Structure 1
Amino acid sequence: MLRSLIKAYPNSPIAVIFDAKGKTFRDDIYPEYKAQRPPMPDDLRLQIEPIHKIIQAMGLPMLVIDGVEADDVIGTLAARASAKGIEVVVSTGDKDMAQLVNEHVTLVNTMTNTVMNEAAVVDKFGIPPNLIIDYLALMGDKVDNIPGVAGVGEKTALALLQGLGSLEDIYNNLDKVSTLSFRGAKTMGAKLETNKDDAFLSYELATIKLDVDLPVEPEGIALEAPDQKALHELFTDMEFKSWVKELESQPQDSPSTGDADTAAAAEPIEKQYVTILEETELDSWIEKLQNAEVFAFDTETTSLNYMEARVVGVSFSVSPNEAAYVPCSHDYMGAPEQLSLEFVLNKLKPLLENPEQAKVGQNLKYDRSVLANHGITLQGIAFDTMLESYVWNSTSNRHDMDTLAETYLAASTIHFEDIAGKGAKQLTFNQIPLEQAAPYAAEDADITLSLHQTLWAQLEDEPRLQEVFNTIEMPLVPVLSDVERTGALIDANRLGAHSQELDARLTTLQKDAFDIAGEEFNLASPKQLGAILFEKLQLPVIKKTKSGAPSTAEEVLQELALDYPLPKLLLEYRSLAKLKSTYTDKLPQMINPATGRVHTSYHQAVTATGRLSSSDPNLQNIPIRTAEGRRIRQAFVAPKGYKIVAADYSQIELRIMAHLSGDEGLLSAFQNNQDVHKATAAEVFGVALEDVTNDQRRSAKAINFGLIYGMSAFGLAKQLHIGRNDAQQYIDRYFERYPGVAQYMDDIRENAAKSGYVETLFGRRLHLPEINSRNGMRRQAAERTAINAPMQGTAADIIKKAMVNVHNWLNERNLDARIIMQVHDELVLEVAEDQVDIITEELCQLMSNAAELSVPLLVEAGVGDNWDEAH
């Protein structure tokens, strides 16, 4: 963690703070403080001294102050530094530290890659930093044995603080507590009065001291040159082999943590942002860009809709803290004269279309599409900071630029809302004055370049992750852009007719529901539905909500639907209502008037496993197992003279499981082209292959797919509607017949617990922060993810590789076909009728060859006039 902090904050002074041995002033105030904490385990105690030695050998100042806690030392340093306008980052996961946050103090949790500024404190706790101490005082803290106010939990504390203000304000207005709207408000005033002494004692205990007598001021903290010899001995002794190798490869006089004097004397660097309004300035910058090894590029536009957006201006950066913005279309009253959009884009076109000129951007897929609206094909897309962050850690925070800047650069950026406003009155970029627009746009390019330099350095240290970025994610960017811009042809009339039929069916279902209930009620209201199901009809309560009310969630209705008619009817109603609102009503409204097609947005940096997701419309969730869902797919049609070709991988995750586990039984089934579910049924139920019944095959299918998702005996029993003991016997027999699978699952759980992540076949990582959680449910959920993620992630990597290969092949051969959709393990194409046979055959081959597994990758393709026919 310390090494990563040094990399993340180069040339920044860093102090490492530890608790001193012995009592603190809080023990004198309250002898029971932390009294219930168990002593430090001996295994951990032995590790403290070598950690101290390594930190000192690294040249990092280490502070251990008697009589106070480490928090107080950190608080004092942070307060003194921020009072002088020095930016402070506190690396911690401790919620108590949120009380220190202000405009100059930020918290960063390097375990989760999360950053907490003032806004994030409000988002997380519901109150600003100046009320955190009051929050802790009211709730108390079992870990530290701070008493708090008896009967006050998180929600009550929050309601009191949001309703009345600080602890002092609450006690000055005890008569108003009963007017607040939280549960128990009527009696809370009396409880607060009774526990007043505990509340103010707790406030004192929870307050981090900001006036500790320190041996050094913030300005006096400086890094020293590391003691290479001591580090080598310590790293060798600890068997930190890669760090030893790293030390041995460094020149002995080259300090790895940076020059101490430079760090101590570092001053904020002035940003050099320019607004280009003259042709000579533009020419000068174009020359800079042409000579740059890589430059950051960004567009400012009129819309987030990539099919409609027009360029308002462009920005670029070639070195940190230096950037330029070229406005072209700011048209507010009094806007200065600008270079014309046509002139600027013509000047930039050769550079933007040069595949040899490397560019970096943040979500360049969007910029590529916007430039395509102006007849420019962006090439040389070498790096994308959104994808660099995503490949580095897909389970961390969001991968938008503002979040990344806070996380990796400790930089607070200008937010779009800061200059454009919010809601209905929000301005489009062309309406924003240049005095505000130019710094914002230039900063986008500047921050993007700095992010790239930081993130790329991390990826270079992990060759397998770098390969995922270079061979999977980046080649996919132009492919997805082309697929999005191609869009899918929709038969609006067919959807309109379907919508009317659904409306009639929903009306019938509603009437049937009223008849069963004996009264009318709102089918969409959980409260009214709960009253009908559990009070009037007396159906069994299976699960409750957090507030204690009987749950009417989907899984509850599914279980009740096995025995009762109304829940079954409600499930059908919900399903049809969702199809109508999401697809049959909405899709016709989403047809682009210029293209006559629907254009989705594919997202590369959303799911943890590497799968693509889509939105506006979401094409990944159109049901295929129901007749109504298939009817929606029938509305995705081929234009005249073309056919829809749909090709998907057969049982890809099971095949990946066979490859990863190396289980002989599974390998044999796939290599001999057997029906794997039938083969599993024969093994589990101990019958000949030809004697397997449909029910046995169905059960075996549930086992095959259930186990790769880490399903327990309880889950399998629920799915097959059998006893838990029977389900456990099925699973035991499965593992007896497929011991390689059992071993793989044991190994992956063990390795995940050690490393904190799992990997796909190609090296993509999925981090599992809860894999060693003390909470059993969270740990088991992480273990289930650990089993499935390598398979789901590998499948995602394979389909991405296939998309790139198919797209490139179609373009290189100049074939009359194009990819129009990607849905899970399926590619959907429009193909000219006279080329269907040749393209279908080669398509299946290219998809099969996207990865080399120890079992065949089977691809099945269909052809039709619409998507449903082709699937």
Structure 2
Amino acid sequence: MKTLLLVDGSSYLYRAFHAMPDLRNSANEPVGAIQGVLNMLRRLHKDYPSDYSACVFDAKGKTFRDDLYPEYKANRASMPDDLRVQIEPLYETIRAMGWPLIIEEGVEADDVIGALAKQAEKEGIRTIISTGDKDITQLVNENITVVNTMRDAFRKTDDVLDIAGVENKFGIPPSKIIDYLTLVGDSVDNVPGVEKVGPKTAVKWLTEYGSLDNIIANADNIKGVVGENLRKALPWLPTARELITIRCDIGIREHFDELIPKAPDKPALLALFDHFEFRGWKRDLDKLPDGATAPLIENSVLPTVEELSGQAGGDYSPDTRRLYQTILSDSELEPWLTKLEQAALLCFDTETTSLDPMQAKIVGVSFSVTPGEAAYIPLTHDYFDAPPQLALTATLAKLKPILENPDIKKVGQNLKYDMHVLANHGITLQGIAHDTLLQSYVFESHKGHGMDELSERHLGIAPISYESVAGKGAKQVSFSQVTVEVAAEYAAEDADITLQLHQALYPQVTVSDKLRFIYEQVEMPSMQVLQRMERNGVLIDSHMLNRQSNEIGLRLMEIEKQAYELAGQPFNLGSPKQLQEILFGKLGIKPLKKTPSGAPSTDEDVLHELALDYPLPKVILEHRSLAKLKSTYTDKLPKMINAQTGRVHTNYNQAVAITGRLASSDPNLQNIPVRTAEGRRIREAFIAPPGSQIISADYSQIELRIMAHLSQDAGMLTAFANNEDIHRATAAEIFGVDKAAVDNEQRRYAKVINFGLIYGMSAFGLAQNLNIERGAAANYIERYFARYPGVKAYMENTRALAKQQGYVETYFGRRLWVPEINSANVQRRNGAERAAINAPMQGTAADLIKLAMIAVDQWLTEQKLQTKLIMQVHDELVLEVPEHELALVKQTLPVLMQEVATLSVPLLAEVGVGNNWESAH
């Protein structure tokens, strides 16, 4: 069976122009697009031998589609001059190489390709179409295959789309591609689809209804917003389908005997290659025997770096499949600035001097607007013999209008960090549309969310690691010391991979309205609020902390002396081995459990239990607690004050806990103990500046209120509706007394039970916590569930649901994964069951505080107040408030927090004011 090879020249022309460096000959004429397309053609005839071939380009002027829809391709920028001047020389070179070249007026290259492929099929000829345009996959059948040879840097083989390949890539067979594209639209050609309908929805509908016509016929049966959007689009869909459908019935003048490759015109090619200064190709052409029939020089090689020396265009990668560019000149930057300004979505990444977001400075910036294509702008690489780079200040000034334009949408991986880095250079990033870190966190919170891990998991690509570029451990160098050649490949890949990850992850997030809400209305806006909060920082009284540190140091010395007396000898209190010898050897205390190595354990749980009967473990626990406070806070916090701002700036890690709770680090402001006097004193060092006060606002008994809502238990709902003391009400139920008769000990028991059970506490755990017999604890639990049957039913149903689907949900729809819910290991399974019960409450509380944070931040911005959000600690917001705004903030803050959601029980936010955090709490 003979083969026809058809090349979509227009598709590759644009891709080559944007992918290649700005190569120029000595006359300063651009030749990069010519070089890229010719090399692709060389590969094609080598990898896909054929009997017939043709390179097809779009003609100038309008086509029938412009008459059908005047806005067709209206979003495309006019052809750059540097590309326009390369077209005719490219045509001339392609013809000189022996390639038949076809340009048909009034139709597009796609239509010509479709007509030739269908004609070939009738004549028993197999067709291979080389293109980067997904529209052409509608032609694929048993005799027509699509390949993409201008592949990206990661794939070792071409994209080959036969029938199975199309179905694997799109989730539907080629016969449904037209219907699929009609639904999702084609942003490249400015053909609208159905609003908010992406690939997942389109595939789902086509799988369910079979065709676009059947989807239209059942439009009234499709529910939700997408159904409404479909019905609104019904009048438009026939036009969209006609625009997307490739016309295969146009008249073609060529016959297949005219598409037999010709021998290259060697004299013409020598003159052209000489003019373009493709010296390597010219040498290879000289070796080609006269009269050879190969349509291109199969053993040709690309110009060497040495051959390109003296030409504009900076570094050159010898792998034309790598569509990455290193920008070293203004002439290279300008086309990218235009591309970024016109991008529907641009991905960017910063390479910096530090992981500390408040200290980091830019070394370079990378961008990508099309998968497989990216650019890196090195700015401050300062190693010996580093090439001349664009000026940092001037280049950032050119990028600033793009980065600060809210209408130019941006995507990145962990953009909160990049927002800080840009802010360090006076740039306020706007137009933030997506973050792949948060997309992964919302979609699969129980997995890792680093870019490298995401790339391997979702793209099957193992990216270049940072360690392979900068080294690791003591030998790791600053990114500014990494060579530009190596850094460019790494950085451009980061931007490219992130863009591809967005395309892979976002459809999975938006397939569920609940997940979409969590991503778009909770996590994305939270990220921007957190960045501002981190940047605000918190004022610390370092002198007070230094005094506390000295006092704790003296107290630790006293405790050590006391421990020595109890042990009968000096020993290292921080040594588990020495402590084992003292406790279980010298003092003869019976070990409660062992470490994995078989030694008696001295962990916190063991010491707490032993402390009930022995004085030394109690002293050891006090020493550990104070030593941790000293090393973590009183010693460390003063050293973490930013020299420029005079404040401490924590980092809120958004994508850590599966429940949605934030994790504070460097320093961790969420784990300062509040139950000890020393811990509370540390909070006294978090102060307001002169003329301001600290306001603390937190949700009261939020997880119990959420339990009442989720379980719909009548008793709990009534207690909260009547604004009763829930612990007193529970004590009255359990102990069978009037609420007025409940004493403090009974209320304490009830409080432990209330909070313990929502964390899945067993009778054994409750007995330990209350220091009572296990039977008594079991009796209390039995009475509790008898009085609150809705809670028991909720717990049982939640366990069953978790076992069935592997996750539970918050009130707002966040998925809380419990991977070990069906584990064969009893301990792990029981732990997963406890987590499944508590996660919806803890997760809903996390969602609520994030929504509250967003609402408060929005209000502060709209009212143009000077009040600042400075901390978020679990269910609490902490603000720094000028005294003239104090009354307004104190009045409005709890209202904003209470109105972010409507549950079956009222939300209650309590507010405190003081000149430091502790006094406001």
Q: With the length of structure 2 as denominator, give the TM-score of the two structures.
A: 0.67
Residue 330 of structure 1: aligned partner: 381
Residue 363 of structure 1: aligned partner: 414
Residue 780 of structure 1: aligned partner: 830
Letter aligned with residue 551 of structure 1: S
Deviation at 1:327, TM superposition (A): 1.1
Could you give the per-residue CA deviations for residues 381-415 of structure 1, whole angstroms, max 9, x where no partner exists?
1100000000001111x211111111111111111
Q: Structure 1 residues 243, 690: closer, same or farther in 2, change over 3 A?
A: farther
Q: Structure 1 residues 383, 250: closer, same or farther in 2, change over 3 A?
A: farther
* Percent identity of paired positions between Structure 1 and Structure 2: 59
Deviation at 1:548, TM superposition (A): 1.2
RMSD value, Cα = 2.5
1:644-655 alignment, distance < 5 Å: 644-655=694-705
Give the distance between the partners of 1:852 and 1:329, measured in 2 at CA: 52
Residue 619 of structure 1: aligned partner: 669
Contact 1:766–1:789 (CA under 8 A) maintained in structure 2: yes
Residue 695 of structure 1: aligned partner: 745
Give the distance between the partners of 1:246 and 1:759, measured in 2 at CA: 29
Residue 343 of structure 2: aligned partner: 292
Residue 211 of structure 2: aligned partner: 251
SS in 2 for 1:772: coil
Contact 1:645–1:830 (CA under 8 A) maintained in structure 2: yes
Letter aligned with residue 448 of structure 1: T
Residue 901 of structure 2: aligned partner: 851
Instruction: Answer yes or no: is 1:307 the counterpart of 2:375.
Output: no
Q: Structure 1 residues 375, 503: closer, same or farther in 2, change over 3 A?
A: same
1:566-585 alignment, distance < 5 Å: 566-585=616-635
SS in 1 for 2:641: coil
Q: Structure 1 residues 288, 571: closer, same or farther in 2, change over 3 A?
A: same
Could you give the per-residue CA deviations for residues 832-866 of structure 1, whole angstroms, max 9, x where no partner exists?
01211110110111111121111111111111111
Deviation at 1:423, TM superposition (A): 2.1
Deviation at 1:246, TM superposition (A): 4.9
Contact 1:228–1:252 (CA under 8 A) maintained in structure 2: no
Could you give the per-residue CA deviations for residues 61-89 of structure 1, whole angstroms, max 9, x where no partner exists?
xxxxxxxxxxxxxxxxxxxxxxxxx99x9
**Structure 1 residue aligned with 2:438, among 375, 387, 390?**
387
Give the distance between the partners of 2:362 and 2:862, measured in 1 at CA: 30
Deviation at 1:663, TM superposition (A): 0.7
Give the distance between the partners of 1:815 and 1:870, measured in 2 at CA: 20
Residue 334 of structure 2: aligned partner: 283
1:172-251 alignment, distance < 5 Å: 246-251=206-211
Give the distance between the partners of 2:364 and 2:646, measured in 1 at CA: 28
Could you give the per-residue CA deviations for residues 120-154 of structure 1, whole angstroms, max 9, x where no partner exists?
xxxxxxxxxxxxxxxxxxxxxxxxxxxxxxxxxxx
Deviation at 1:431, TM superposition (A): 1.4
Q: Structure 1 residues 622, 338: closer, same or farther in 2, change over 3 A?
A: same
Letter aligned with residue 334 of structure 1: D
Residue 270 of structure 1: aligned partner: 321
Give the distance between the partners of 2:527 and 2:800, measured in 1 at CA: 35
Contact 2:369–2:499 (CA under 8 A) maintained in structure 1: yes
Give the distance between the partners of 1:650 and 1:458, measured in 2 at CA: 35
Q: With the length of structure 1 as denominator, give the TM-score of the two structures.
A: 0.71
Give the distance between the partners of 1:646 and 1:221, measured in 2 at CA: 62
**Structure 1 residue aligned with 2:915, among 847, 850, 865?**
865
Contact 1:270–1:321 (CA under 8 A) maintained in structure 2: no
Letter aligned with residue 835 of structure 1: E
Could you give the per-residue CA deviations for residues 557-616 of structure 1, whole angstroms, max 9, x where no partner exists?
000101110001000000000000000001011111111111100000011110000111
Q: Structure 1 residues 541, 442: closer, same or farther in 2, change over 3 A?
A: same
SS in 2 for 1:281: helix
Give the distance between the partners of 2:515 and 2:375, measured in 1 at CA: 32
Give the distance between the partners of 2:565 and 2:818, measured in 1 at CA: 49
Instruction: Answer yes or no: is 1:812 the counterpart of 2:862.
Output: yes
Instruction: Answer yes or no: is 1:832 the counterpart of 2:792.
Output: no
1:117-136 alignment, distance < 5 Å: none
SS in 1 for 2:402: helix
Residue 349 of structure 1: aligned partner: 400
Instruction: Answer yes or no: is 1:608 the counterpart of 2:658.
Output: yes
SS in 2 for 1:478: helix
Instruction: Answer yes or no: is 1:373 the counterpart of 2:333.
Output: no
**Structure 2 residue aligned with 1:721, among 771, 777, 780?**
771
Q: Structure 1 residues 661, 269: closer, same or farther in 2, change over 3 A?
A: farther
SS in 1 for 2:890: helix
Contact 1:269–1:321 (CA under 8 A) maintained in structure 2: no
**Structure 1 residue aligned with 2:719, among 644, 665, 669?**
669
Letter aligned with residue 432 of structure 2: I
Give the distance between the partners of 2:789 and 2:620, measured in 1 at CA: 43
Letter aligned with residue 693 of structure 2: K
Contact 1:820–1:829 (CA under 8 A) maintained in structure 2: yes
Contact 2:374–2:495 (CA under 8 A) maintained in structure 1: yes
1:354-753 alignment, distance < 5 Å: 354-396=405-447, 398-753=448-803
Give the distance between the partners of 1:479 and 1:851, measured in 2 at CA: 19
Give the distance between the partners of 1:477 and 1:400, measured in 2 at CA: 16
**Structure 2 residue aligned with 1:823, among 873, 880, 894?**
873
Contact 2:692–2:881 (CA under 8 A) maintained in structure 1: yes
Deviation at 1:225, TM superposition (A): 6.2
Deviation at 1:424, TM superposition (A): 2.8
Give the distance between the partners of 1:246 and 1:606, measured in 2 at CA: 37
Give the distance between the partners of 1:702 and 1:300, measured in 2 at CA: 50
Letter aligned with residue 501 of structure 1: E
5+ residue gaps, structure 2, are 1-150, 177-200, 215-318
Give the distance between the partners of 1:756 and 1:247, measured in 2 at CA: 26
Deviation at 1:425, TM superposition (A): 3.0
SS in 2 for 1:323: strand
Residue 819 of structure 2: aligned partner: 769
Residue 67 of structure 2: aligned partner: none
SS in 2 for 1:540: coil
SS in 2 for 1:297: strand
Give the distance between the partners of 2:612 and 2:737, measured in 1 at CA: 30
Instruction: Answer yes or no: is 1:339 the counterpart of 2:387.
Output: no
SS in 2 for 1:485: helix
Contact 1:542–1:551 (CA under 8 A) maintained in structure 2: yes
Residue 797 of structure 1: aligned partner: 847
SS in 1 for 2:659: coil
Q: Which has the larger radius of gyration?
A: 2
Give the distance between the partners of 2:351 and 2:781, measured in 1 at CA: 56
Contact 1:708–1:787 (CA under 8 A) maintained in structure 2: yes
5+ residue gaps, structure 1, are 1-85, 90-102, 106-217, 233-240, 255-267
Q: Structure 1 residues 478, 435: closer, same or farther in 2, change over 3 A?
A: same
SS in 2 for 1:625: coil
Could you give the per-residue CA deviations for residues 675-703 of structure 1, whole angstroms, max 9, x where no partner exists?
10000000011000000011110010011
Contact 2:411–2:435 (CA under 8 A) maintained in structure 1: yes
Contact 2:442–2:518 (CA under 8 A) maintained in structure 1: yes
Give the distance between the partners of 1:651 and 1:312, measured in 2 at CA: 48
